[in-house]
Amino acid sequence: MSKIKPSKGAPYARIMGVGGYRPTRIVPNEVILETIDSSDEWIRSRSGIATRHWANDEETVTAMSVEAAGKAIADAGLTPEQIGGVIVSTVSHFKQTPAVATEIADKIGATRPAAFDISAGCAGFGYGLTLAKGMVVEGSAEYVLVIGVERLSDLTDLEDRATAFLFGDGAGAVVVGPAKEPRIGPTVWGSEGDKSETIKQTVPWTDYRDGAVERFPAITQEGQAVFRWAVFEMAKVAQQALDAAGITADELDVFIPHQANMRIIDSMVKTLKLPEHVTVARDVETTGNTSAASIPLAMERLLATGQAKSGDTALVIGFGAGLVYAATVVTLP
């Protein structure tokens, strides 16, 4: 018989608070058109994006995260000292080590929490949420801060007609804590590494360091391949998440997909046959694609504007580079 004592965590976990930060600079499509041969009409018709936020020198990954985290902790009715874990999902923190989560934890005033970064692209928030849920239920932390943050303007090739208009900057955060009943459903997640070339960094950092290329690395993608994968395969994953949670589309109140592209969002709504009463996040129009930050930012805006309310049942799904994905059903805080 094992001599190890069982963990004493909570029976379930829930999202307790949410916060977001969008950089002050708003960039319209007209600015993007200065470096690519396109039109405002084409960008809107292909992506649904009209504006995006780009960070200034002071709006670093850390600074944006601290702002979003502070709001989420306050929204949860907690103090920073109560945070026992900090999980940060990002692909745009340019120090390989230490993890930016440790710096953020220190700046928000958390007391010696577990702190680490994850790299799961646009599915990063879902990955972080699942890890946080496990920590709370397992008992290694009572309250866990999950942050999705990106400065994708640093990784955007403004001369790439296929991607120059897509990306924005920002940070979104949630606090995960104990619950007496299920408030975060089972996660349906996975990867399709055979398709990893469809969204990728143009070249390794070492190529730039060694002078093999002159242009700073950027994010590139095969647009049509990504669109087909997202529309057809991710709708299946979203349905699996509903099934795993034991609910139907009719019982859903809110749908918060990764804010990649308005056409993808609308196609998923149609494929899932979501009823008209379901509120759909379309934050991409004014925020652009902020990768790991997009779901918590969209969640925060829906709650702040009253389009969604506390206690609503929401389906969230993230998908992107890897190709990786994660979907789950949650109760909004």
Given the residues 29, 53, 122, 261, the one annotated as active site: 122
Q: Is the peptide bond before 323 cis (omega within 30 degrees of 0)?
A: yes
Q: Is the peptide bond before 333 cis (omega within 30 degrees of 0)?
A: no
Given the residues 29, 93, 258, 261, the one annotated as active site: 258
- Residue 307 Cα to chain centre, angstroms: 19
CA distances from 331 to 151, 263, 279, 284 (A): 28, 26, 14, 22
Let me know: does 45 contact 74? Beta carbons within 8 Å.
Answer: no
What the block records as the tokens of 193 is 């590494």
Which among 259, 258, 247, 269 is positioned nearest to 129, based on CA atoms? 258
Annotated active-site residue 261? The verdict is no
Annotated active-site residue 277? The verdict is no
- Spell out the residues 6+ positions from residue 274 whose beta carbon is closer than 8 angstroms to its own: 249, 252, 255, 280
146 vs 309: CA distance, rounded Å: 20
Beta bridge partners of 71: none
33 vs 7: CA distance, rounded Å: 56
DSSP string, 185-251: ---EEEE-GGGGGGEEESS-HHHHHTTS-SSPP-EEE-HHHHHHIIIIIHHHHHHHHHHHHT--GGG
Annotated active-site residue 289? The verdict is yes
Active site positions, annotated: 122, 258, 289
